[in-house]
Amino acid sequence: MRAGVAGGVLSMAAAGASASASAAEPVTQTLELPTLTADMATQVAESADATQQAAANYQLQAERDAAAAKAAKQAKADLAEAKKKAEARKKAAEEATRKAAAERATRDTERTSLSASASVSASTSTSTSTATGSAAAIVNFVKSQVGDSYVSGGTGPNSWDCSGLVQAAFSQIGVDLPRVSQDQSTAGTQVSLSNLQPGDILYWGSAGSAYHVAVYVGDGMFVGAQNPSTGVAEKSLSYDPPTGAVRVL
């Protein structure tokens, strides 16, 4: 009986030892990775290309947006500058028109205020209706130029401007007059338009700033280089009443 019990115990011990040995050994599990086939490689490559292309497209779009923004900013600045210049030109034109209108109004006022006296002067005998001496030489010279053309800056012999003709007329008697109308209008003694004598210098505008001159030739008439369409002509004082007159002789 003891032998049987001992044998059983030994059998159980051996079985337990075997079980313990089996429990102590680690369990290893192997995972199999999918094989990279040719199709999968192509898909990966295409995906990489698509990603790179998308990045390039984003970069290009960003550059285009930046260029468009810069162009829009420059266009806005150019437009503002153009508007500024246009406004400046408009103001300059308006100022020039205003000044021209003011000058015309001043001339019209002066002519209106003097038209009555000029008309009287034209219809009334002056102290000397017939030129004599030096005055006759001046009158004969300007009358001999009637029909010549008007040219701005002209000093003869066949084309004249207003002051060039008057200067040349007085040079016939050795009188050296200034060249321009403004100075000729103050070159002698101021005389009344109702007491003109042949050889007197008529002027239009203010003394010292006259814009036209001519020579009084008697009998209410004057000779002057008028304008490009009229040329040198003999006209009545009523045709274009002068502002004043100076006597050099």
Could you give the number of structural domains in the chain? 1
Q: Do residues 213 and 184 make contact, with C-beta atoms less than 8 angstroms apart? A: yes
Cβ neighbours of residue 195 under 8 Å, at least 6 residues apart?
126, 127
> What is the predicted pLDDT for the residue at 91?
82
pLDDT cut 90: percent of the chain above it: 46
> CA-to-CA distance for 187 and 11, rounded, in angstroms?
161
Query: Does pTM surpass 0.85?
Result: no
> What is the predicted pLDDT for the residue at 51?
82
Range scoring the smallest mean pLDDT among 28-42, 45-59, 86-100, 113-127: 113-127
In a domain, 11, yes or no: no
In a domain, 143, yes or no: yes
> What is the predicted pLDDT for the residue at 29?
58
Q: What is the dihedral of CA 181, 187, 193, 197, to 10 degrees?
A: -110
Smallest Cα–Cα separation from 203: which of 231, 227, 184? Answer: 184
> CA-to-CA distance for 235 and 87, rounded, in angstroms?
45
Answer whether residue 55 shows pLDDT above 60.
Answer: yes
Q: Do residues 4 and 12 make contact, with C-beta atoms less than 8 angstroms apart? A: no
In a domain, 47, yes or no: no
Place of tokens 């550059």: 63
Residue 176 or residue 99, greater confidence: 176
Q: What is the dihedral of CA 82, 87, 92, 95, to 10 degrees?
A: 170
In a domain, 39, yes or no: no
Q: At what angle do helices 162-171 and 133-144 cross, to 10 degrees?
A: 140
In a domain, 68, yes or no: no
In a domain, 40, yes or no: no
Angle at 128 between CA 123 and CA 146, to 5 degrees: 75
DSSP alpha helices (H): ranges in the chain? 2-24, 38-123, 133-144, 162-171, 181-184
Q: What is the pLDDT of residues 96-150, one digit of tens each?
A: 777 767 766 665 555 554 444 444 444 434 444 677 899 999 999 999 999 999 9
Confidence label for 9 from pLDDT (cuts 50, 70 and 90): very low
Answer whether residue 21 shows pLDDT above 50.
Answer: no
Answer whether residue 199 shows pLDDT above 50.
Answer: yes
Cβ neighbours of residue 206 under 8 Å, at least 6 residues apart?
110, 185, 243
> CA-to-CA distance for 162 and 21, rounded, in angstroms?
141
Residue 119 or residue 208, greater confidence: 208
C-alpha distance from residue 238 to each of 41, 63, 152, 222, 243 (Å): 110, 78, 24, 10, 12
Range scoring the smallest mean pLDDT among 33-47, 170-184, 188-202: 33-47
Q: Which domain holds residue 232?
A: 102-247
Place of tokens 């030739």: 217
pLDDT cut 70: percent of the chain above it: 73
In a domain, 210, yes or no: yes
Residue 106 or residue 59, greater confidence: 59
**CATH value at residue 227:** 3.90.1720.10
In a domain, 227, yes or no: yes
- DSSP for 8-57, written as a single string: HHHHHHHHHHHHHHHHHSPP--PPPPPP--HHHHHHHHHHHHHHHHHHHH
